[in-house]
């Protein structure tokens, strides 16, 4: 890294201007319309409202993981006193400030149906509601109902969103305050605060993975599940931040501040987390395989010996092998059209990863015998077929549009921390 320091280029456009307003207007409008269309398409599908709910959860988790990863980007930047990432930090702060909007979306699409009498998303919710009247028994699940019940689940959901939102707002507000005061002590206070914030963030992220996705199949469990989810978070985050930053540059802003050197470092981190994701995914598989405990092996049994095998192979090849080889080269991270293509590729397959984790759990329902047999990942393998519906596509595109709109609402004022003490070294950053 270069020891030199630079100042902002005199011709640099670092104010958001009307960019955020345009993003917010288009994104929120398009997102709401597309999600409504997804709801209608889901109701018309064979699986009814349950199809929409699972597609909505998949899309919501896709954007939530990017927000989680962006918050980690901000925290690790302060914790390590990073210099190179200073010019990118404000954009990551804006992405992390979307948690309140995501909380509202999740409350409407996930929590509210549960309280309105629809119990078709989480099997434990349906089981708890009908256990007494249908005389159901599931010794694996019954002991977990004190944790997996609508009241406590709702409380935890809002607690997680409040924790994320509180941390994101604390760091973003202090960063913007430094733009006005220029006080270098703010950077030191944020560095100290980043330590306990990182611990709280980590514990929260573990339980978000367990509650929002792993509990879809409540008879199954894996202690490494949220670690693997975090690996996917960071793949999606570095890819998304690279694309968002490049799009901002295409609007004529930050053209001098963010250089190919910064994209190169984003590419190196992307390369590292592609391997980390593959390592944790393989570790989960290996531990489950050699232990050979039926309660654990069902996760892979119903994803490998069914139609879902095709999706599993796609993830191995396209989420790991192809980008791993593509990012080995120094030049693939420095030739920006190539690097942007890799980022789009990885974001697409991060969604496929979320889809592969969520959707195989859908093959059950209150009118289906699989419910009485134990819920998701039970029964005849032939009944677990991979089906892709138009409502899934609409949910994905609609949620991404809504997410971009929420980011647009935060894109205001300076797009870089103009009085951060480390801005000069960041502007002068070079890879050797």
Q: What is the mean pLDDT of the chain?
A: 93
Higher-pLDDT residue of 41, 369: 41
Q: Over 90: is that where the pLDDT of 388 sits?
A: no
For residue range 275-304, what is the model confidence (pLDDT) as tens digits?
A: 999 999 999 999 999 999 888 999 999 999
24-33, 138-147, 295-304: which has the minimum mean pLDDT? 138-147
Q: Over 90: is that where the pLDDT of 429 sits?
A: yes
Higher-pLDDT residue of 362, 385: 362
Q: How confident is the model at residue 5 (pLDDT cuts 50, 70, 90)?
A: confident
Q: How confident is the model at residue 200 (pLDDT cuts 50, 70, 90)?
A: very high
Rounded mean pLDDT, 126-155: 87
For residue range 322-332, what is the model confidence (pLDDT) as tens digits?
A: 999 999 999 99
Higher-pLDDT residue of 366, 33: 33
pLDDT score for 1: 44
Q: How confident is the model at residue 61 (pLDDT cuts 50, 70, 90)?
A: very high
pLDDT score for 39: 93
pLDDT score for 132: 79
For residue range 241-272, what is the model confidence (pLDDT) as tens digits?
A: 999 999 999 999 999 999 999 999 999 999 99
Rounded mean pLDDT, 23-43: 94
Rounded mean pLDDT, 372-397: 86
Q: How confident is the model at residue 47 (pLDDT cuts 50, 70, 90)?
A: confident
Predicted TM-score (pTM) of this structure: 0.95
For residue range 69-111, what is the model confidence (pLDDT) as tens digits?
A: 999 999 999 999 999 999 999 999 999 999 999 999 999 999 9
Q: Over 50: is that where the pLDDT of 116 sits?
A: yes
pLDDT score for 367: 66
Secondary structure of the chain in the HEC alphabet?
CCCCCCCCCCCCCCECCCHHHHHHHHHHHHHHHHHHHHHHHHHHCCCCHHHHHHHHHHHHHHHHHHHHHHHHHHHHHHHCCCCCCHHHHHHHHHHHCCHHHHHHHHHHHHHHHHHCCCCCCCHHHHHHHHHHHHCCCCHHHHCCCCCCCHHHHHHHHHHHHHHHHHHHHHHHHHHHHHHHHCCCHHHHHHHHHHHHHHHHHHHHHHHHHHHHCHHHCCCCCCCCHHHHHHHHHHHHHHHHHHHHHHHHHHCCCCCCCCCHHHHHHHHHHHHHHHHHHHHHHHHHHHHHHHHCCHHHHHHHHHHHCCCCHHHHHHHHHHHHHHHHHHCCCCHHHCCHHHHHHHHHHHHHHHHHHHHHHHHHHHCCCCCCHHHHHCCCCCCCHHHCCCCCCHHHHHHHHHHHHHHHHHHHHHCCCECCCCCCCCHHHHHCCCCC
pLDDT score for 44: 83
Higher-pLDDT residue of 133, 155: 155
Q: How confident is the model at residue 229 (pLDDT cuts 50, 70, 90)?
A: very high
CB-CB contact of 299 with 217 (8 Å): yes
pLDDT score for 140: 80
pLDDT score for 234: 97
Q: Over 70: is that where the pLDDT of 3 sits?
A: no
pLDDT score for 133: 80
pLDDT score for 48: 72
Q: How confident is the model at residue 386 (pLDDT cuts 50, 70, 90)?
A: confident
Q: Over 60: is that where the pLDDT of 226 sits?
A: yes
Task: Give me the residue spans of the domains in the chain.
Answer: 19-427
Rounded mean pLDDT, 302-308: 91
Q: How confident is the model at residue 354 (pLDDT cuts 50, 70, 90)?
A: very high
């Amino acid at each position: 890294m270069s020891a030199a320091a630079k100042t902002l280029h005199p011709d640099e456009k670092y104010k958001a201007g009307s960019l955020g307003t345009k993003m917010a207007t288009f994104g929120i409008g398009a997102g709401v319309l597309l999600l409504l269309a997804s709801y209608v398409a889901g109701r018309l599908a064979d699986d009814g409202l349950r199809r929409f709910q699972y597609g909505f959860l998949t899309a919501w988790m896709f954007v939530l993981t990017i927000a989680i990863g962006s918050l980690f980007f901000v925290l690790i930047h302060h914790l390590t006193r990073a210099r190179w990432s200073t010019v990118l930090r404000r954009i990551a702060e804006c992405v992390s400030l979307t948690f309140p909007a995501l909380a509202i979306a999740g409350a409407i699409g996930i929590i509210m149906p549960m309280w309105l009498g629809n119990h078709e998303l989480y099997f434990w919710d349906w089981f708890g509601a009908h256990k007494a009247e249908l005389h159901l028994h599931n010794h694996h699940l019954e002991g977990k109902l004190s944790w997996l019940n609508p009241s406590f689940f709702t409380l935890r959901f809002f607690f997680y969103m409040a924790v994320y939102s509180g941390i994101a707002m604390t760091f973003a507000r202090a960063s913007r305050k430094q733009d006005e005061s220029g006080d270098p002590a703010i950077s030191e206070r944020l560095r100290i605060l980043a330590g306990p914030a990182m611990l709280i963030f980590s514990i929260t992220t573990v339980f978000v993975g367990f509650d929002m996705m792993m509990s879809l199949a409540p008879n199954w469990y894996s202690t490494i599940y949220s670690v693997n989810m975090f690996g996917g978070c960071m793949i999606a985050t570095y890819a998304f931040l690279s694309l968002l930053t490049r799009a901002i540059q295409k609007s004529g802003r930050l053209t001098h501040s963010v250089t190919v050197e910064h994209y190169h470092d984003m590419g190196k981190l992307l390369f590292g987390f592609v391997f980390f994701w593959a390592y944790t995914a393989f570790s989960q598989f290996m531990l489950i395989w050699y232990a050979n405990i039926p309660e654990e092996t069902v996760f892979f049994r119903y994803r490998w010996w069914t139609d879902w095998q095709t999706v599993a192979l796609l993830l191995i090849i396209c989420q790991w092998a192809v980008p791993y080889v593509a990012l080995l080269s120094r030049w693939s991270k420095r030739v920006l059209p190539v690097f942007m293509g890799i980022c789009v590729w990885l974001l697409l397959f991060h969604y496929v990863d979320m889809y592969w984790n969520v959707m195989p759990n859908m093959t059950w329902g209150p009118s289906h015998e699989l419910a009485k047999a134990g819920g998701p990942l039970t029964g005849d393998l032939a009944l677990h077929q991979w089906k892709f519906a138009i409502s899934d596509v609409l949910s994905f595109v609609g949620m991404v549009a809504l997410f971009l709109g929420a980011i647009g609402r935060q894109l205001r004022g300076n797009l870089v921390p103009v009085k951060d003490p480390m801005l000069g070294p960041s502007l002068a950053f070079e890879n050797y």
